[in-house]
Amino acid sequence: MNQASTMPPKSGINPVTPPKKSMLRNQRKMAPWFFLAPGILMFLVFVISPIFQSLWISFYEWDGLGEKTWLGLANYLELFDDENFFISLKNNIIWLVLYMLAPPIGLAIALMLNQTVFGIRLYKSLFFFPFVISQVVVGLVFAWFYDPSYGLLNVVITSFGFEPIAVLADERFVTYGIIVAGLWPQVAYCMILYLTGLNNVAADQIEAARLDNAKGWKMLWYIIIPQLRPATFIAVVVTVIGALRSFDLVSIMTSGGPYGSSRVLSYYMYETALSEYGYRMGYGAAIAVVLFAIMMLFITGFIWKMIRDERG
């Protein structure tokens, strides 16, 4: 018991037997794990295990009630013969590409709002407003906006003497129509990210650039944007993920219609597995696995970049 003597006695504290040194060391090591444990447990139960379960179910034919039948890869083979799957995949790509407009537009608005004028706080909150309201509300508002007989869009179009366009009932426009609705809150989100980023732009560098006669685009491109890199990174990540999990707007605005032409993978998965006419759990799981693989592609890319940046 001479370990006690190695501990410097703390003033004002009774010299009660202090914990053993090995336990203390363990405590230091264990503490983070104790704090992480609930999170890890939740993550395992609600994220990791469902991933493997989906993978498992995707090899079966199962209606959610009766016996499962082993199919092997048949569900995946069926995907390649399913035009609905390719429509959904194509729409997902359109979503991804067009959603990439959100960061630059968000940046533009952020630059515009990043000034001290009377009432700027009000403008900022108004621009941020679409991100605060629920996607369901956004979807409904845009569905009414596009309404072919009473919608604002068509009131404007017809006042110029053109034929009204039923955006959400026309296979040519429907996906774009929904994406525009989705961009509205997404741009607001990117704008907020950039606004906070702009607060941290080093004033001395701008000063120095000014002395070197940098103005306008050159200033933006060579001085401001490089300093906004962390904000850009986050904006791109949330936008990619936002585009891939686009579900609520499709569901609210068109339910995938007309005749399935605005489906995306997440909605098609929901339809086959969980909707009123679905309950093909295996097939739905196969779609989910494909969507997961696409997401993983991006996520590993992002993580790889993050690790590389951290190492310098």
Q: Could you give phi then psi for residue 182, rounded to 5 degrees? A: -70, -30
Number of residues that bind other proteins (CB under 8 A): 28
The helix (run of H) or strand (run of E) holding residue 145 is helix 135-146
- Which string of DSSP letters, residue by residue, matches 251-296? HHHTTT-STTTT--HHHHHHHHHHSTT---HHHHHHHHHHHHHHHH
Q: Smallest distance, Å, CB 136 to other proteins? A: 14
In total, the chain counts a number of residues equal to 312
CB-nearer residue toward other proteins: 2 or 149:
149
Check binding of 83 to other proteins (CB under 8 A): yes
If the CB atoms of residues 130 and 260 are measured against other proteins, the closer one turns out to be 260
Binding of other proteins by 296 (CB under 8 A): no
- Between 141 and 209, name the residue whose CB sits nearer to other proteins: 141
Please name the residues in contact with 260: beta carbons below 8 A apart, sequence gap of 6 or more. Answer: 84, 87
Which of 68/124 has CB closer to other proteins?
Answer: 68
CB 18 within 8 A of CB 5: no
Contact between 271 and other proteins per CB under 8 A: yes
Q: Does 177 bind other proteins (CB under 8 A)?
A: no
Select 128 or 279, whichever has its Cβ closest to other proteins: 279
Residue type, 34: F
Counting contacts by CB under 8 A, is residue 78 touching other proteins? yes
Q: Contacts with other proteins in 36-75 (CB under 8 A)? A: 63-66
Burial of 125 (0-12, 13-18, 19+ CB in 10 A): exposed
- Give the residues lining the site for other proteins (CB under 8 A): 63-66, 78, 83, 146-149, 164, 166, 168-169, 171, 254-255, 257-260, 271, 274, 276-280
